[in-house]
Amino acid sequence: MSEGAIEAHGLVREFKKGPRAVDGIDLRVEAGEVFGFLGPNGAGKSTTVHMLTTLLPPTAGSARVGGHDVVHEGPAVRAAIGAALQEAALDPFLTGREHMKLQTAMHGMSGEEARKRSDSLLERVGLTQAADRRVGGYSGGMKRRLDLALALVHRPRILFLDEPTTGLDPQSRTALWAEVQRLAADRGVTVFLTTQYLEEADVLADRVGIIDQGRIVAEGTPEALKAEIGRPSVEAIPAEPEQLERMKAVLSRFGESVAGSTKGASVRLAGGDAQLADVVRALDSEQIKIQDLQLHAPTLDDVFLAKTGRSLEGAAEEAEQEEAEQEAVAA
């Protein structure tokens, strides 16, 4: 069997005084694929990326990136990959062009070659005009674009993007997506992308791996994963809060309960969207007045929910709260 561009077997990362950040990850990404690594904050996405990019040695398990072992062939792995990590990792006192100069020098490019490569990349990410301004004055979108350009300096075959659009406005996000799609389609670059945004995984990824608490809970194409869940969910909010329990009882006849608004109830319709009419009739016959009724097509959040019992957004809030608690204890 030919080797994938990225392969991991039983990857584990433990930190002192804490649970395992990564708890046995197996994955395989084929060359030229865009792989989306989806999960809430604290799920272990960045730790996994740090291990695959040789920045952190695994506690156990193994991984090969670009045909090289991440532990024993670090320099060879680094030569094959580019990475735009979670922090934009830029020096606010240097200009965009100075960053490119530094990066090209680090990769051993000589004067003329370095200059040409810098100019070409700066143009590609639309930063030619701003190239001689200090990065401290760049917008978030501009910083991310420079970050991407720097990651591409040495023409890597494999690109790691760790939450590349977090904190960006919609316009910048769309622009970055377009560039990622171009990279994959035109140049056959393998892209390993981590994100907490469902839409991003949906739009960009050929295949998605969903991670929660250090483990992969689901893997496949977005369509296949959603089809596995298959059925839509209906969410209802009663007009009178006292009727909530009765409404829940009625809805429970139509399928299993899923998380939703605290003011209402949601169930996954066992019989598909055809059952919606039955739901309405049942609620009406019990004289339960409804303030709001919505039908949701399955999303990756539903996939996450089905596998973990928590919603991706809810899991994000939980992780933030845990982090805040840990900080308070440490302080």
Which residues contact other proteins by CB under 8 A? 53-57, 70-72, 74-75, 78-79, 81-83, 85-91, 93-94, 98, 101-103, 105-108, 134, 150
**Do the bridges between strand 207-212 and strand 215-220 make them parallel or antiparallel, or are there none, so unpaired?**
antiparallel
Q: DSSP secondary structure string, 152-176?
A: TTT--SEEEEESTTTT--HHHHHHH
Q: How far is the CB of 87 from other proteins (least distance, A)?
A: 3
Tokens coding 312: 């991706």
Tokens 């393998």 found at: 190
How far is CA 30 from its chain centroid? 18
Would you say 94 or 276 has its CB closer to other proteins? Answer: 94
The CB-of-102 to other proteins minimum distance in angstroms stands at 5
Q: How far apart are CA 201 and CA 46, in angstroms?
A: 16
In sign, the C-alpha dihedral spanning 174, 223, 21, 13 is negative
Nearer to other proteins, 81 or 236 (CB): 81
CA distances to 40, 95, 125, 182 from 318, rounded to whole Å, are 9, 39, 36, 35
Nearer to other proteins, 3 or 87 (CB): 87
Alpha-carbon distance of 172 to 218, in angstroms, equals: 29
Nearest approach in angstroms of CB 208 to other proteins is: 25
Question: Least separation, in Å, of the C-beta of 176 and other proteins?
Answer: 18
Decide whether 98 or 202 has the Cβ nearer to other proteins: 98
Task: Choose between 93 and 277: whose C-beta lies nearer to other proteins.
Answer: 93
Among 16, 40, 18, 39, which Cα is nearest to 27's? 39
CA 249 to CA 238: how far, in whole Å? 13
Q: Measured from the CB atom, is 23 or 147 closer to other proteins?
A: 147
Closest approach of other proteins to the CB of residue 186, in Å: 24
Least distance between other proteins and beta carbon 251 (Å)? 44
Give one DSSP letter per residue of 191-252, joined into a string: EEEEES-HHHHHHH-SEEEEEETTEEEEEE-HHHHHHHH---EEEEEESSGGGHHHHHHHHT
Helix (H, G, I), strand (E, B) or coil at 93: coil
For other proteins, the closer of residues 193 and 225 by Cβ is: 193
Shortest CB 174 distance to other proteins, Å: 24
